[in-house]
Amino acid sequence: MMGFTFRGKHSNEFTGLVVKTINNPLLPPKRVQKVNVMGRDGEYLFEDGYINKNLEFRCSLAKGTIYERRQVARDIASWLSASGDLVLDNENDKTYKVVKTVCDVSLVVEQAWDEFNITFETEPFQYGGLKTLSFDNPSTVVVNNQGTYDAETIIGVTGTGNVTIACGTQSFTLTGMTEKLNVDSKRMLVYTETNTNAVSKHTGNFIKLKPGNNTITVTGSVSNMTVKFNDTYI
């Protein structure tokens, strides 16, 4: 039987809840901008990454009286009322990040069961478990993203003075370092271990890991570097 785990709780923990079908698009929709130019036929299309996608679940409640099913429906609505991590049974090594949930449970007194839809709006990608790699006195290291899409990183650098981190065509420099700094590519933030903003010390890119092996080079006085990321799948 199909099912899923959301916010750490599995769908089979709700009495009578059956997941009948799951509509999960293989690819997330692309962000497309259409531009019309006077004097020219047709439109120009500009693509810029991906937008959130929807996973649609057709479900039913098939056990209990209308009163009992109504109570289960309330419990389900409460469960779905927040964002969180979503894991499907048929791909339990990957996680979706849910940003919004819509559930249209509607109970009909005359029926012995109730059917309803659950729609999860998720970030465009799936993620493997968090990986944290640590390198002492690094100069050149290789980091592998086993996914199929660029992975966001948090790179922690412990060093002094000016330090440059490079990965392929991407690089950044941290100037006047006196303590560990963390460079977060997803949030485009730089901060200390006490969460003090240190973006003024950063110039350059926020590094993402391409699928496969990524060679990272370190220039400057660095005693330790950590790389945190999730394998990312499109």
Q: What structural domains does the chain harbor?
A: 4-124 (2.40.30.200), 137-233 (2.60.120.860)
Angle at alpha carbon of residue 71, lines to 69 and 75, rounded to 5°:
110
Q: How far is CA 71 from CA 1, 57, 63, in A?
A: 23, 20, 12
Q: Give the model confidence (pLDDT) of 73-91 as tens digits.
A: 889 989 998 899 999 999 9
Q: Give the model confidence (pLDDT) of 143-158 as tens digits.
A: 999 999 999 999 999 9
Asked whether residue 14 carries a pLDDT value surpassing 60, the answer given is: yes
pLDDT at 89: 94
Question: 114, 107 in Cβ contact below 8 A?
Answer: yes
Could you identify the residue written with the tokens 């485009």? Answer: 188
pLDDT at 97: 96
Tokens of 178: 């006196």
pLDDT confidence band for 117 (50 / 70 / 90): confident
Can you say whether the dihedral through the CA atoms of 118, 72, 95, 85 is positive or negative?
A: positive
pLDDT at 112: 63
Question: 53, 122 in Cβ contact below 8 A?
Answer: yes
pLDDT at 110: 53
Encode burial over 175-210: b for 16+ CB neighbours within 10 A, e otherwise.
eebeebbbbbbeeebbbeeeeeebeebbeebbbbbe
pLDDT confidence band for 114 (50 / 70 / 90): confident
Return all residues near 136 (Cβ < 8 A) that are at least 6 apart: 223, 224
Structure-model confidence comparison of residues 28 and 157, the more confident one: 157
Q: Give the model confidence (pLDDT) of 168-177 as tens digits.
A: 999 999 999 9
Return all residues near 176 (Cβ < 8 A) that are at least 6 apart: 161, 162, 201
